[in-house]
Amino acid sequence: EIVLTQSPATLSLSPGERATLSCRASQSVSSHLAWYQQKPGQAPRLLIYDSSNRAIGIPARFSGSGSGTDFTLTITSLEPEDFAVYYCQQCTNWPPNTFGQGTKVEMK
């Protein structure tokens, strides 16, 4: 079973700042990694698939990179609506279709 470890657990930033979130896999997932954003009381929303491809309707300030075991989600300039919890998920080696434990981006 692949384990995804996200860091940091919490990121305290101000609007306009850059956010860098990390996801590390316990074994290679090639580029088959997705990122999601979840706000309180809502379902997760797909941001990035295949490590670096933005899903439909996702703003360009969201970008993903990485391959193998190390991945990064970057939000270049935080907007007020970007404060949320972010999850990574591996999409290649199931079962299980693992999620990371999440990174909370909170307003400083």
Partner 1 sequence: QVQLQESGPGLVKPSQTLSLTCTVSGGSISSGSYYWNWIRQPAGKGLEWIGHIYTSGSTNYNPSLKSRVTISIGTSTNQFSLKVDSVTAADTAVYFCSRASTENYGSGRRGFGMDVWGQGTTVTVSS
Closer Cβ to partner 1, 17 or 54, answer by number? 54
Contact flags string 23-62 toward partner 1, x per CB under 8 A: ---------x-x-x-x---xxxxx-xxx----xx------
Q: Is the peptide bond before 8 cis (omega within 30 degrees of 0)?
A: yes
Residue 104 lies near partner 1 (rule: CB under 8 A): no
Instruction: Judge whether 29 and 92 are in contact, CB under 8 Å.
Output: yes
Residue 99 lies near partner 1 (rule: CB under 8 A): yes
Closer Cβ to partner 1, 80 or 96, answer by number? 96
Contacts with partner 1 by CB under 8 A lie at: 1, 32, 34, 36, 38, 42-46, 48-50, 55-56, 87, 89, 91-92, 94-102
